[in-house]
């Protein structure tokens, strides 16, 4: 009898145990990964845009090549957006000459408050002060001036095909490179460089204008160009540096985007940061092997189309497209 009761109790325990189910673990459904369809940057197109600028000749303010190039730039932007503005302003350069500068601005989704600004300068140096020959003659400025414009024109073409979610302003500054040379016979003029960006930063093209951040392109097309963390960029806009360098290296362009600090460079972004209060970085070539740490053909007559490399253009352009379309 005892054995029968024991057997019954054991069987009951087994049945009871089988009826108790283990508590199910709560699982949070995984969010589907959002994939942003980014167009492919066309380096051949950017190369053509640089070549076209160079074909006009040196784009020195008030010269015929400068006027012809300004007309072409305005018409080219109008092919990609109806929102194009030429901001004009009188200036006096260090040599006492009077000019009317032209900042050329193309806007995409101008009604959006969430926007970024992309900058370059479109003029070229009026003298070859770092050459050994013809030092007083203007240079073509294929890399120094032309390259940043070429990349931004190609980006504008891409934006016309697929509009970014955010608003974008492409702003081409004039008279960046009409700065006073070191051995000038003229009285020293403070802030003689970057006259176009100085004017725009004090007088934006739109009242109460603000962008979340800005990116300046300067000398971004030489073969094997390396881009370090420029000093002012690191001070004013370090998160933007980190974002772009991370994206560039993720895309496989680590040989161009170097995680090292570079020196402070007086360029258009300084005035955008200081006067317009828009955190802005400068993507600019840094070459530790040269005396001035710029491209070896900087401010010389060899800054021509032989100084332009499609692979470098692609590295910069594709990185920026990925950043903009993922905002």
207-243: per-residue pLDDT in tens? 999 999 999 999 999 999 999 999 999 999 999 999 9
Q: Which residues contact 18 (CB under 8 A, 6 or more apart)?
A: none
Residues 8 and 128: their CA atoms lie apart, in Å, by 105
242-298: per-residue pLDDT in tens? 999 999 999 999 999 999 999 999 999 999 999 999 999 999 999 999 988 999 999
Nearest to 221 by CA among 38, 56, 39, 49: 49
Is a pLDDT exceeding 80 seen at residue 13?
no
Is a pLDDT exceeding 60 seen at residue 66?
yes
Is a pLDDT exceeding 60 seen at residue 198?
yes
Residues 123 and 101: their CA atoms lie apart, in Å, by 10
> Given this model, what pLDDT does residue 22 score?
40
CB 145 within 8 A of CB 66: no
Residues 152 and 172: their CA atoms lie apart, in Å, by 9
Number of domains in the chain: 1
Domain assignment of residue 251, given as a range: 39-179+191-325
- The answer to whether residue 265 sits within a structural domain is yes
- The answer to whether residue 5 sits within a structural domain is no
- The answer to whether residue 315 sits within a structural domain is yes
Nearest to 300 by CA among 122, 52, 132: 132
> Given this model, what pLDDT does residue 84 score?
98
Confidence band of 36 (pLDDT split at 50, 70, 90)? confident
142-160: per-residue pLDDT in tens? 999 999 999 999 999 999 9
82-118: per-residue pLDDT in tens? 999 999 999 999 999 999 999 999 999 999 999 999 9
233-244: per-residue pLDDT in tens? 999 999 999 999
- The answer to whether residue 129 sits within a structural domain is yes
> Given this model, what pLDDT does residue 37 score?
81
Residues 17 and 13: their CA atoms lie apart, in Å, by 6
- The answer to whether residue 278 sits within a structural domain is yes
- The answer to whether residue 12 sits within a structural domain is no
Percentage of the chain lying above the pLDDT 70 cut: 89
State how far Cα 197 lies from the chain centre.
Answer: 15
Q: Which residues contact 162 (CB under 8 A, 6 or more apart)?
A: 37, 39, 325
Is a pLDDT exceeding 50 seen at residue 7?
no
Tell me the mean pLDDT in the region 298-320. Answer: 98
CA distances from 64 to 60, 69, 70 (A): 8, 8, 10
Mean pLDDT of the chain: 92
**CATH number, residue 69:** 3.40.630.10
> Given this model, what pLDDT does residue 59 score?
98
Q: Which residues contact 51 (CB under 8 A, 6 or more apart)?
A: 305, 308
CB 234 within 8 A of CB 264: no
- The answer to whether residue 186 sits within a structural domain is no
> Given this model, what pLDDT does residue 126 score?
98
Tell me the mean pLDDT in the region 58-64. Answer: 98
> Given this model, what pLDDT does residue 32 score?
53
Confidence band of 2 (pLDDT split at 50, 70, 90)? very low
- The answer to whether residue 7 sits within a structural domain is no
State how far Cα 71 lies from the chain centre.
Answer: 23
């Amino acid at each position: 009898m005892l054995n029968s009761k024991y057997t019954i109790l054991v069987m009951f325990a087994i049945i009871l145990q089988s009826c108790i189910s283990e508590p199910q673990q709560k699982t949070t459904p995984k969010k589907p990964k959002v994939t942003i369809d980014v167009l492919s940057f066309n380096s051949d197109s950017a190369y053509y845009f640089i070549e076209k600028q160079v074909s006009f000749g040196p784009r020195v303010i008030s010269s015929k090549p400068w006027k012809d190039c300004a007309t072409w730039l305005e018409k080219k932007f109008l092919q990609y957006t109806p929102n194009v503005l030429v901001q004009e302003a009188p200036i006096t350069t260090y040599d006492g000459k009077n000019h009317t500068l032209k900042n050329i601005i193309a806007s995409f989704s101008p009604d959006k408050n969430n926007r970024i600004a992309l900058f370059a300068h479109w003029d070229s140096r009026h003298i070859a002060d770092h050459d050994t020959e013809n030092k007083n003659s203007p240079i073509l400025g294929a890399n120094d001036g032309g390259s940043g414009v070429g990349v931004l024109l190609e980006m504008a073409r891409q934006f016309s095909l697929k509009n970014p979610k955010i608003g974008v302003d492409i702003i081409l500054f004039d008279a960046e490179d009409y700065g006073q040379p070191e051995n000038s016979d003229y009285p020293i003029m403070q802030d003689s460089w970057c006259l176009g960006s100085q004017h725009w930063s004090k007088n934006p093209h739109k009242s109460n204008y603000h962008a979340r951040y800005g990116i300046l392109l300067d000398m971004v097309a030489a073969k094997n160009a390396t881009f370090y963390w420029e000093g002012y960029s690191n001070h004013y806009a370090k998160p933007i540096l980190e974002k772009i360098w991370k994206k560039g290296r993720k895309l496989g362009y680590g040989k161009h985007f170097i995680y090292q600090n570079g020196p402070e460079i007086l360029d258009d972004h300084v005035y955008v940061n200081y006067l317009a209060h828009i955190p802005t970085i400068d993507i600019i070539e840094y070459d530790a092997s040269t005396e001035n740490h710029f491209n070896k053909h900087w401010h010389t007559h060899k800054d021509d189309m032989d100084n332009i490399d499609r692979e470098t253009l692609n590295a910069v352009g594709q990185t920026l497209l990925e950043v903009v379309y993922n905002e």
